[in-house]
Amino acid sequence: MIEATRRRSPALSGSAMRRLMTRPIHAHLAGTVPPRALVAEVPSDIATDAHADAPMAAPALPNSETGSADADLARLRLEVAVMKAALAAERRESEALRSSLGLVDAETLGEEARAVRARWAALVERLIHDAP
């Protein structure tokens, strides 16, 4: 799927969502863990009816400074929602990989590894669940 995307649009101008959705999936996880979908909430004033394969068009810039600031804020909120969805998907995928490798049990990890894992889990949890 990634190769097909690269052939269709060889330039680096693809949307962030398309790049996130076409990243490689581990083949051995496909058989053991069913994929779960995560739908990020998009504010109603940003949502468009654009086709999924259509290139993302830049939003029209209003003339006033406050309108420009509002548009920038809305765009940044949408980007944060996309990144939160990507982080949540990465976390689920790594948890599935750890469970398939048998690394879920705390006894298999050393004290330092458990501390590092706990710090990363807290950071990811904060990034996913805190409001922007």
**Inside any domain, residue 111:** yes
Domains: count for the chain: 1
* Tens-digit pLDDT profile for residues 8-39: 655 545 566 555 555 555 444 455 444 454 45
Joined tokens for residue 70: 């509002």
* Tens-digit pLDDT profile for residues 96-128: 887 887 766 656 678 888 899 899 989 988 888
**Inside any domain, residue 10:** yes
Tell me the one-letter amino acid at 9: S
Q: How confident is the model at residue 78 (pLDDT cuts 50, 70, 90)?
A: very high
* Tens-digit pLDDT profile for residues 68-77: 888 999 999 9
**Inside any domain, residue 19:** yes
Domain span including residue 93: 2-44+78-129
pLDDT at residue 76 in the model: 92
DSSP letters, 42-57, are: --TTT-----TTSPPP
For residue 44, pLDDT over 90 is answered with: no
**Inside any domain, residue 14:** yes
* Residues 6+ positions from 14 with CB-CB distance below 8 Å: 5, 55
pLDDT at residue 69 in the model: 87
pLDDT at residue 56 in the model: 55
Question: Does the reported pTM lie above 0.85?
Answer: no
**Inside any domain, residue 113:** yes
pLDDT at residue 49 in the model: 45
